[in-house]
Each structure stands twice: as structure tokens, then as C-alpha cells.
């Protein structure tokens, strides 16, 4: 027998024998032997934060569907490439000339890819005062009282592919399946309110749609149900205005509201802007058109800046906002090549991590958010991203604080008594038969670790798995 191999076997036996006495090993064995996870794929990696040296691994280099933990790869790269103080710009201006208060030309809105324009997550930034009211005031201050021309929407910073091609039909009509536009607005989302009868299994009625994008038609197939939760799904193409709504909502509701994705955010923005202009007595004689306007023709009046990227990334990771992540992919491409598209953006993100020494053979990205079922990444890669960010010159604190603590954001089910904010930060990811976590943890010894736990293709309840994964993390914290 090879001596080196024999020594390795002795070391492995000795290590496992010692490790088997720990609470972590006992909990891990209990977890892996659970019949509900018998056929599941499980990958785990715990590593020292500073050195990146692994202290426990199980299938660390195998590929798993990551769901939303992929957002750590995207958001970390965006912070490093664009910088935490990076801001998106939406520009308002005109072409032609102003004669006696009459604009003989077009009003122009140039989209800068701001993912947060009018977002519910940034109300103080965009609604105090309301950004569209500011635009109207700035036009009037510039001397424009009427417009003999069109409202031009310049959305050509991004290409026409708003939705990643591998997203599934069940997702893209719902609010979390909103696509990225150079003129995204109001989270590219609208709300549909229903009235349901007192008896289950009966047809429901749509009572309101707000804000209502022009060009959308609804086919309501939603029924009332004894199930006291939202089980309704919106189906429709990102290029078509027909929306079919299927599933159920709770019975006996005067108003029950669901959220859907808006495929036409640009025209909604234009309609609301025209309405506010008219309210102030400023009328446009022409129509709304999409056109790429040259800088030589464009006379700038006002620029609306987004919050800093560091603030956007915090909301992205806390609330797991798919739309924000997809914007970052396209914006990275736009800054590099002048055109935001998924293929280029994903390639640049992968190249960034490769240049940082990570093995990108363990990373397959089909989007930036993790909503695609075609994404694949290893526990080792995710933990390595966190290790790299822990040593970042400018983004360590920003990135770590963008991950929710127990009881916050998508970690609402984790108990704050077990994990204090200063000792635990993590991103979760979930979809059907997928549950993953990656983040930072301080053990009871005071030592700091990165961790990744990925479970794919499991049976049973998500809530039960969350509880068991929390117990596993707590056992590691107590053991080390």
C-alpha cells in the first residue's frame, strides 16, 4: 500500500473519529439520514473567513441549482466592478427650440437603467417630492409651456431582451419575474385586486388594476378557495399584452390583491408623465415614440439620480429582488460595451471572478438573480466569493451588511435568539425542491467562518427544512 495513501487514511479516520463526537456531526448525520432527504443532493462548505481554508466539506465542488443565493455572485461583482457609490441616471431634455414658451421639438426621456426608479423600496428618494412632479416643474422652469412634438423614450441603453431566455412560464407573469428595461419604473409591477364569493370553487371578480398599464387585457380564471393564501399565478408573454390569471385566492374576500409583472413599464411612465404635464397645463401635440436620440440633438434639463449602488444591493439581498439583480447584469455590460445585454453581462461577471482566482468551471450563470432553473454553482465557489469579499479593499462592510441577519428580510424565519446580527449574516435561496444558504458566521469560539449549504431535489416541507438547516448551523456555531 502507498505510504502517503495509508497515512491519509489514518488521518481521515482520526479526524472523523474526533469529529463524530461533536454536536455538529450528530446533527449532520440526523439531517442526512432523514427519509425526506434520502434522494436529495446536499452540498456543504464551512471555511475560515480570512484564509479561506475549509474546516468541513460535503460535495463542495459538485454543481447545484442555487436559486437566489446566486445574487451574492452578481451583487458582489457589481459592487467591485461599478463601485458602491455608483448611481444610475435618468435624463430629461428636449430637441428643437423653445419659441415664446412653445417647444418646437420633442421632449426626451433617456433611460439609464435605474432599477429603483419609483420603487416602493425607495419611497423617500423618489416620492419626497415625487420624481415625475419634479420633471414637470423643471420643464416649466426651462420655459416650456406647450410642446409641438412627441414624447420620445430613449431606451436603447439596453437591448430588447427584457427576460432571460431560460425563465419558466409560471414565473415571468408574476411580480418576481419582471424584466429589466432601460426605463424600468415602479419595480415593473402592478397590482390586481379581486372580490371572492363566500363559497369555495367559485369564480372571482377583478375589481381593480393599479397602476394599469396601457395595452394589457385580462382573462380571469381565478377561483375562490378554502386555502387562506395567495395561490394565483399570472401567465403571459413579455412581448404580449394578454394576461391569463389562474389558481385560487381565499374565499369571502371583499378585496384580495396579488402582484404581477408589467411588460410595458416605459409606456406606463410616459402615460403618467403626460397626465401630470396636462394637469399643469402643458400639452403635447404629438405621440409617444421610441427613438435613439443622438447627444448632439439632446438638450439636457434635469437628471434624476438613483440611490447609491450600495443601498440598492442591500435591498436586492435583503428582499431578494430579482429585477435589481437583472439590472446589474445589464448595467455591467452597458458600462463596458455601451449596450446592456445578458450574454455580455454574465460573461463579464464570470471573467471578473476568474481573474480573482476562482474556478469558474464551477459557475454556470443564465441570469443574475437565480430565478433560472438552468443556473448551476458549487458550494465551494459561493463560499470563495464570500471569502474574497471579506478581503475586499472597498466593499467588505457594504457587502456583508447587504446580507440580512436572522429575523430580517428573507431570513425572517431564523430566530434572533440563536443568531445575533453581529455574528450571522446570510443570503437564502429557494424554489421548488431547492433550498440554499450562504453567508458569514462567528462561532462561539470567536472564530469567523463563511458557510454554504445547498439542498436540491428534496421531498417534504420547506419550513421543516429551514428549521433543520438552522439547527445544523447552530450546531456548527456551538461546536467551533
Q: What is the CATH number of the domain that holds 384?
A: 3.40.710.10
- Do the domain assignments include residue 349? yes
- Do the domain assignments include residue 113? yes
Torsion angle (degrees, nearest 10) of CA 427, 429, 434, 435:
30
Q: What percent of the chain has pLDDT over 90?
A: 88
Same domain, 71 and 101: no
Residue 281, CB-side half-sphere exposure with 13 Å CA sphere: 6
**What would you report as the CA-atom Rg of the chain, rounded to the nearest whole angstrom?**
25
**Residue 155 pLDDT more than 90?**
yes
Residue 226, CB-side half-sphere exposure with 13 Å CA sphere: 0
Per DSSP, 404 falls in state P
Average of per-residue pLDDT across 189-213: 96
Same domain, 177 and 326: no
What digits encode the pLDDT tens for the residues 422-452?
Answer: 899 999 999 999 999 999 999 999 999 999 9
Rounded to whole angstroms, the Cα distance separating 144 from 289 reads 20
Query: What pLDDT does residue 21 have?
Result: 54
Same domain, 144 and 174: no
Q: What H or E segment, with its residue span, contains residue 386?
A: helix 379-390
Average of per-residue pLDDT across 297-322: 98
Rounded to whole angstroms, the Cα distance separating 35 from 51 reads 36
More confident residue, 472 or 20: 472
Distance of CA 202 to the CA centre of its chain: 35
**Residue 455 pLDDT more than 50?**
yes
- Grid cell, residue 429, equals 435561496
Span of 255-264, 286-295, 385-394, 408-417 with lowest mean pLDDT: 408-417
Alpha-carbon distance values, 291 to 4, 180, 181 (Å): 69, 18, 15
- Do the domain assignments include residue 6? no
Put residue 100 in one of left, alpha, beta given phi > 0 → left and psi -120 to 50 → alpha: left
Same domain, 414 and 450: yes
**Residue 164 pLDDT more than 50?**
yes
Query: What pLDDT does residue 17 have?
Result: 42
Domain edge (last residue) among 231, 246, 261 = 261
- Do the domain assignments include residue 3? no
- Do the domain assignments include residue 128? yes
Same domain, 325 and 468: yes
**Residue 5 pLDDT more than 50?**
no
Question: Which of the four pLDDT bands, split at 50, 70 and 90, describes residue 139?
Answer: very high
Same domain, 61 and 150: no
pTM of the model: 0.94
Rounded to whole angstroms, the Cα distance separating 328 from 369 reads 10
Q: What H or E segment, with its residue span, contains residue 96?
A: none
- CA-nearest of 214, 90, 99, 92 to 147 is 99
Query: What pLDDT does residue 4 have?
Result: 39
How many other β-carbons are positioned within 10 Å of the β-carbon of residue 169?
11
Range of the domain at 204: 169-261
**Residue 252 pLDDT more than 60?**
yes
Query: What pLDDT does residue 243 have?
Result: 96
Rounded to whole angstroms, the Cα distance separating 318 from 315 reads 5
Domain edge (last residue) among 261, 295, 323 = 261
Same domain, 289 and 358: no
Domain edge (last residue) among 227, 261, 295 = 261
Question: Which of the four pLDDT bands, split at 50, 70 and 90, describes residue 415?
Answer: confident
Same domain, 152 and 290: yes
- Do the domain assignments include residue 102? yes
Quickly list H helices, 204-257: none
Query: What pLDDT does residue 10 have?
Result: 35
Query: What pLDDT does residue 416 have?
Result: 85
Average of per-residue pLDDT across 267-296: 97
More confident residue, 22 or 436: 436
What digits encode the pLDDT tens for the residues 45-82?
Answer: 999 999 999 999 999 999 999 999 999 999 999 999 99
Same domain, 330 and 218: no
Same domain, 430 and 353: yes
What digits encode the pLDDT tens for the residues 380-398?
Answer: 999 999 999 999 989 999 9
Cβ–Cβ < 8 Å for 439, 445: no
Span of 183-187, 240-244, 307-311, 327-331 with lowest mean pLDDT: 240-244
Query: What pLDDT does residue 20 have?
Result: 41
Average of per-residue pLDDT across 112-131: 98
Instruction: Tell me the longest C-alpha to C-alpha distance in the chain.
Output: 96
- CA-nearest of 258, 254, 203 to 225 is 203
Q: What is the CATH number of the domain that holds 300?
A: 3.50.80.20
Same domain, 213 and 183: yes
Helices (H) and strands (E) in the chain, counts: 13, 22
Query: What pLDDT does residue 7 have?
Result: 34
Question: Which of the four pLDDT bands, split at 50, 70 and 90, describes residue 214?
Answer: confident
**Residue 12 pLDDT more than 80?**
no
Average of per-residue pLDDT across 25-43: 92
> Could you give the number of structural domains in the chain?
3
Same domain, 391 and 318: yes
Query: What pLDDT does residue 77 have?
Result: 98
pLDDT, mean over the chain: 94
- Do the domain assignments include residue 411? yes
- Do the domain assignments include residue 11? no
**Residue 193 pLDDT more than 50?**
yes
Amino acid at each position: 500500500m502507498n505510504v502517503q495513501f495509508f497515512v491519509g487514511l489514518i488521518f481521515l479516520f482520526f479526524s472523523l473519529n474526533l469529529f463524530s463526537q461533536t454536536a455538529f456531526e450528530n446533527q449532520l448525520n440526523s439531517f442526512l439520514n432523514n427519509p425526506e432527504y434520502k434522494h436529495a443532493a446536499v452540498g456543504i462548505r464551512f471555511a475560515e473567513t480570512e484564509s479561506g481554508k475549509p474546516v468541513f466539506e460535503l460535495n463542495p465542488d459538485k454543481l447545484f441549482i442555487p436559486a437566489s443565493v446566486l445574487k451574492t455572485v452578481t451583487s458582489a461583482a457589481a459592487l467591485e466592478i461599478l463601485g458602491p457609490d455608483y448611481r444610475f441616471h435618468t435624463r430629461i431634455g428636449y430637441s428643437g427650440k423653445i419659441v415664446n414658451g412653445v417647444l418646437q421639438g420633442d421632449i426626451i426621456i433617456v433611460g439609464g437603467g435605474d432599477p429603483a426608479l419609483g420603487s416602493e423600496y425607495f419611497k423617500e428618494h423618489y416620492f419626497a417630492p415625487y420624481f415625475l412632479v419634479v420633471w414637470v416643474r423643471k420643464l416649466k422652469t426651462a420655459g416650456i409651456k406647450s410642446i409641438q412634438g412627441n414624447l420620445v423614450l430613449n431606451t436603447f441603453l439596453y437591448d430588447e431582451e427584457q427576460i432571460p431566455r431560460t425563465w419558466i412560464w409560471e414565473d415571468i407573469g408574476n411580480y418576481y419575474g419582471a424584466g429589466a428595461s432601460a426605463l424600468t419604473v415602479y419595480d415593473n409591477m402592478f397590482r390586481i385586486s379581486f372580490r371572492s364569493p363566500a363559497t369555495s370553487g367559485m369564480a372571482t371578480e377583478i375589481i381593480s388594476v393599479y397602476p394599469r398599464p396601457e395595452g394589457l387585457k385580462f382573462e380571469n380564471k381565478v377561483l375562490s378557495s378554502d386555502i387562506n393564501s395567495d395561490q394565483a399565478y399570472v401567465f403571459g408573454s413579455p412581448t404580449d399584452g394578454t394576461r391569463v390569471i389562474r389558481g385560487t385566492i381565499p374565499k369571502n374576500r371583499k378585496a384580495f390583491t396579488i402582484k404581477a409583472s408589467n411588460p410595458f413599464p416605459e409606456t406606463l411612465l410616459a402615460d403618467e408623465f403626460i397626465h401630470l404635464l396636462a394637469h399643469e397645463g402643458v400639452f403635447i401635440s404629438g405621440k409617444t415614440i421610441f427613438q435613439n436620440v443622438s447627444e448632439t440633438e439632446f438638450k439636457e434639463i434635469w437628471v434624476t439620480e438613483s440611490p447609491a449602488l450600495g443601498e440598492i444591493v442591500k435591498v436586492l439581498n435583503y428582499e431578494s429582488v430579482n429585477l435589481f439583480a437583472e439590472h446589474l447584469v445589464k448595467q455591467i455590460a452597458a458600462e463596458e460595451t455601451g449596450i446592456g445585454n445578458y450574454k455580455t453581462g454574465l460573461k463579464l461577471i464570470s471573467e471578473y471572478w476568474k481573474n480573482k482566482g476562482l474556478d469558474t468551471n464551477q459557475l454556470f450563470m443564465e441570469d443574475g438573480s437565480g430565478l433560472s432553473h438552468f443556473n448551476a454553482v458549487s458550494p465551494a465557489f459561493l463560499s470563495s466569493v464570500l471569502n474574497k469579499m471579506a478581503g475586499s479593499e472597498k466593499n467588505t462592510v457594504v457587502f456583508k451588511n447587504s446580507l440580512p441577519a436572522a429575523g430580517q428580510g428573507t431570513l425572517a424565519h431564523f430566530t434572533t435568539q440563536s443568531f445575533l446580527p453581529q455574528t450571522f449574516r446570510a443570503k437564502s435561496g429557494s424554489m421548488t425542491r431547492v433550498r440554499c444558504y450562504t453567508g458569514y458566521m462567528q462561532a462561539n469560539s470567536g472564530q469567523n467562518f463563511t458557510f454554504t449549504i445547498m439542498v436540491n431535489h428534496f421531498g417534504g416541507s420547506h419550513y421543516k427544512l429551514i428549521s433543520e438547516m438552522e439547527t445544523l448551523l447552530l450546531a456548527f456555531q456551538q461546536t467551533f
